[in-house]
Amino acid sequence: MVIFSVYVVNKAGGLIYQYDNYVPRNVVLNLSLKWWFGATVGHAILSINGVDVMGKNTADGKDILEYLKDSANYPVSIRFGRARLSSNEKLMLASMFHSLFAIGSQLSPEVGSSGIEMLETDVFKLHCFQTLTGIKFIVLADPRQSGIDALLRKIYELYSDFALKNPFYSLEMPIRCELFDQNLKSALEVAEKAGNFGAGS
């Protein structure tokens, strides 16, 4: 079971917190590559021999294909995973979801609908919990991951305990709190191991 990421969106639709929890798999290849190869559709090369990759170049500016042609770099360890989103893409997606959430609330045939609580695809589920003050907690997880409702409420509890009680934090501002980060990571680990967060707490 995997929890991919956590987003916190303020009542105005601004992204105030984001954490990527997805750990890509390592693949070790001991062969000479003569052509470009791919991984699962939707995945990209994240690093080669421990050096981060952005686009078609390594973090130190080397072209990936040139790096792979050099036999001195073998054996090569290539890390694949979902392509990383830029900060601007994350901000745009958060505000877009905020708008869809509002539209979903208005289009619902039920009076007083709370908006989108879950979107399901064949590769992930998006779960959303909105507080009475309009803060949205969003978790992207594997479709088989259970106990996300309890996890969302745990994240809200952590937000209340470590962000809201911090005298230097003001609403609508990005969450920058080390205790919140640490406790969120622990909660995600418990949720992933248990597969059902409610059973693990």
CA distance 195 to 175: 27
DSSP conformation letters of 156-199 = HHHIIIIIIT-TT--TTSPP--HHHHHHHHHHHHHHHHHSBHHH
| CATH 2.30.42.40 domain range(s) in the chain | 26-82
Q: In angstroms, rounded to a whole number, what is the distance separating the alpha carbons of residues 165 and 183?
A: 15
Token pair recorded at residue 186? 């622990």
Domain 26-82 has CATH 3.90.180.10: no
Say whether 133 sits in a helix, a strand or coil.
Answer: coil
Report the alpha-carbon distance of residue 201 to residue 193 in Å, rounded: 12
Q: Where in the chain is the domain with CATH 3.30.450.70?
A: 3-22+86-200
CB 175 within 8 A of CB 17: yes
Digits of tens for pLDDT over the chain (201 positions)? 589 899 999 999 999 999 988 655 444 444 444 444 444 445 677 788 888 887 788 888 888 888 888 888 888 888 777 667 778 888 899 999 999 998 988 888 888 778 899 999 988 899 999 999 899 999 999 999 999 999 999 999 999 999 888 888 887 889 998 999 999 999 999 998 887 544 444
| Alpha-helical runs (H) found in 108-169 | 148-158
Query: Under CATH, to which class is 3-22+86-200 assigned?
Result: alpha beta
pTM, full prediction: 0.72
Q: Are 89 and 96 in contact (CB under 8 A)?
A: no
